[in-house]
A and B are shown apart, each in its own frame.
Chain A
Amino acid sequence: MATVRLSFSPAPVHVRTARLVGVAVARRAGVREDLLDEVRLAIGEACTRAVALHRQYGVAEPVLVEMSDSGAYSVRVVDRAPIEASIGLAALDADQLANESLNEDDLTTGVGFALLAGFVEDLQVRPVDEGVGTEVRMVWPVNH
């Protein structure tokens, strides 16, 4: 059962709001203080990815962020973009990153995934159970 649900229209300006809410709920849930920067970054990356996909595919539906603190702190970020576009964790090495032919959007996507994978130990990216879209699910331990 989610304790906090936030849905926002797919605009960059709202990503900061999602980060702030996500960190506030994490703190209240008992996530360690030294992990909060990583929580903030990871939620931001997941929301940025969702907003980019909605804009790329002209999807006006809101992005959903669901935060739950039952047992652990789990966050789901759900987009409604076509699935074939959004699954796949592309890790880029230094040579690829510096390559002139790599455009900024692809670089940003690759770097975003690297940050998610690097900062979130318990990370899943999978199709949503119903309808079109994917969800990024992230879990952090909490102190009780």
Chain B
Amino acid sequence: MELSLATRTVGEHTVLEVGGEVDVYTAPRLRERLLELIDAGARHVVVDLGRVDFLDSTGLGVLVGALKRLRTADGTFALVCDKEPLLKIFRITALDQVFPLYPTVEAATGANQ
């Protein structure tokens, strides 16, 4: 399934809803969108992975890049994920200790306020 990207605002948070497959081919589009959002002034970004059905190391690299960029800019970055296969990927790579992970968008946007 192709990558889909949709942005909405929840309070002071910019929520990027990602769907489909995030891999070595599609990850550059995700990187581009995240950079656009940050360059446009978004400082509290939540990436909702609820409709992602494939995520590889390239996609994870892009997400870590956004986390670091926002941290440098005194911003926040969080992920929404409640699918066990994806959560296992975060545990195996130790990235569950790097990203704030929330089960819902409500939890992610409420936590930073």
Contacts and interface: CB of A to CB of B under 8 A. Distances in A.
A94 B64 CA distance: 11
A57 B13 CA distance: 41
19 contacts: A12-B23, A19-B54, A44-B24, A44-B54, A45-B57, A48-B57, A48-B58, A92-B94, A94-B98, A97-B64, A97-B98, A98-B67, A104-B62, A104-B64, A104-B65, A107-B61, A112-B56, A112-B57, A115-B93
A108 interface: yes
A100 B93 contact: no
Contacts of B62: 104
Interface in A34-60: 37, 40-41, 44-45, 48, 51-52
A126 to B, nearest CB: 21
A108 B94 contact: no
B113 interface: no
Contacts, number: 77
B89 interface: yes
Contacts of A51: 24
Contact of A108 (B21, B58, B67, B68): B58
A51 B85 CA distance: 25
A114 B23 contact: no
A73 B72 CA distance: 46
Chain B, interface residues (CB within 8 Å), range: 20 to 34
A16 interface: yes
Contacts of B25: 12-13, 15-16
A99 to B, nearest CB: 9
Contacts of A94: 94-95, 97-98
